[in-house]
Amino acid sequence: MEEKYSDALREKIIVKTSAVGIVTNVFLASFKAVIGLATHSLAILLDGVNNFSDVLSSAITIVGAKLANKAPDREHPLGHGRLEYISAMLVAAVILYVGITALVESAKKIIHPQHADYSFVSLVIIAVAVGVKLLLGYYVEKQGKKVNSAALIASGKDAFFDAVLSASVLACAIFYLICGVSLEAYMGGIISLAIIRAGLQMLKDTLNDILGQRVNPTVSRGIKQILAEEPEIRGVYDLMINNYGPNKNYASVHIELPDTMNVEAVDRLTRRIEEKVYHKTGVILTGVGVYSYNTQEGEAAQMRNHIQQMVLAYNWALQLHGFYANTVEKSLRFDVVLSFDISPKKALDTLLKEIQEAYPAYQVQIVLDVDITD
């Protein structure tokens, strides 16, 4: 089981890790700026600018973590956790700006070339910077995974990426000293495109977090397995998890129970599974709905098998659950999970027509569910 951290401790780790990144990148950016200006190396200068953008990213991460950890209030009863995603969008915007600006400068240098003048000291400093970035990337990404911080994980991967770019600049300088051919402007263009690509990917990931993504299959299967361990529960369906920031997940689910259970027994069961799911996964079950299933074999069981065959004959019908037939009052109800290959209206019209033709004496109620979990 993953180690859980309190919001306060998590914030402390994020701030400390980001502070280490800020100090490291300030030194790297300063050294590279001095070397780039002294040697007229655009690639080194842009590499330094990229380090400075990392400083801004770390600063924004700190501010985002502190704001996201504010206590819930009347206007935001579920907390401010999603502010971390907003801060990540600001980081992506900074990265994109730096990349586009660098690309413009690289294009100018390609049109109007300016040869660099490297020294042994400058090459040694670049080589050291590569090693420093590799160590920083390992540290930041490890801390990010520890506290489930997407911003820190992204920063760690970005640091590894920066190390590769710095190594490319070093290789370009050595190539120039050996062959006399300057690839400065072209390397600057490559670095610029890499920065832009990283910014776009980060923006995409952050937007996905804000819009809402398909539930992580490992998490959803884990929760379903926990619930399925209870002997009274025959099926687990309609699991929906809403994210309100890192480590702030609220879920609802439907469970299938025998029609012989009374309300008191259902109450004890739901309280028990809510506690188990939270302690094992950290997910808070805010709502547990109930489907009843027919415990008596006979006409109801035959109807279920027949209707299930009819429904699942369509490739857009992924699952049937929550089936219950009242043979006395002549009513039946069930849910169907649809793929995204058919409109809900068309699916409902098709199923109602076929089932009412097969069971004209019954009142049919069908609820259509969205395919949101694996």
35 and 175 share one domain: yes
CA distance 156 to 244: 23
Average per-residue pLDDT in the chain? Answer: 84
Instruction: Tell me the per-residue pLDDT of 314-331, one tens digit each, with 9 for 90 and over.
Output: 999 998 988 999 988 999
Choose between 264 and 149: higher pLDDT.
Answer: 264
In this structure, the answer to whether residues 204 and 218 fall within a common structural domain is: no
Q: Which two tokens stand for residue 316?
A: 């857009």
Do residue 181 and residue 282 come from a single domain? no
Same domain, residue pair 45 and 184: yes
221 lies in which domain range? Answer: 214-293
235-243 and 249-258 beta bridge pairing: antiparallel
pLDDT at 115 over 80: no
> 353: domain CATH number?
3.30.70.1350
Domain membership of residue 2 (yes or no) is no
Cα distance between residue 244 and residue 86, in whole Å = 12
* Mean pLDDT across 261-267: 93
Please give the tally of structural domains in the chain: 3
- Tens digits of per-residue pLDDT, 154-182? 778 777 777 777 777 788 778 878 887 77
The CATH number assigned to the domain holding 144 equals 1.20.1510.10
Q: Does any domain span residue 1?
A: no
Cα(38)–Cα(93) distance, integer angstroms: 30
CB atoms closer than 10 angstroms to residue 260: 9
- Asked if residue 168 and residue 149 are part of one domain, the reply reads yes
145 and 20 together in one domain:
yes
Other CB atoms within 10 Å distance of the CB of residue 18:
26
Q: Could you tell me if 244 and 364 lie in one domain?
A: no
pTM of full prediction above 0.85 = no
* Whether residues 82 and 146 fall in one domain: yes
Query: Is residue 1 pLDDT above 60, yes or no?
Result: no
| Residue ending a domain, choose from 192, 211, 230 | 211
Highest mean pLDDT among 71-80, 113-122, 235-244, 340-349: 340-349
What would the pLDDT profile of 30-67 be if each residue is shown by its tens digit? 877 887 777 776 667 777 777 777 787 788 888 888 88
Considering only the C-alpha atoms of the chain, give the largest distance between any 2 of them, rounded to a whole number of Å. 93
Q: At residue 131, does pLDDT exceed 60?
A: yes
Sign of CA dihedral 322, 323, 327, 331: positive
Q: Among 262, 277, 293, give the residue marking a domain's end.
A: 293
Which of 181, 211, 241 terminates a domain? The answer is 211
Looking at the structure, do residues 236 and 301 belong to the same domain, yes or no? no
Answer yes or no: is 174 within a domain.
yes
- Find the helix or strand (DSSP H, E) in which 220 lies: helix 217-228
- Please state, in angstroms and rounded to a whole number, the distance separating the CA atoms of residues 374 and 124: 51
Structural domain includes residue 22: yes
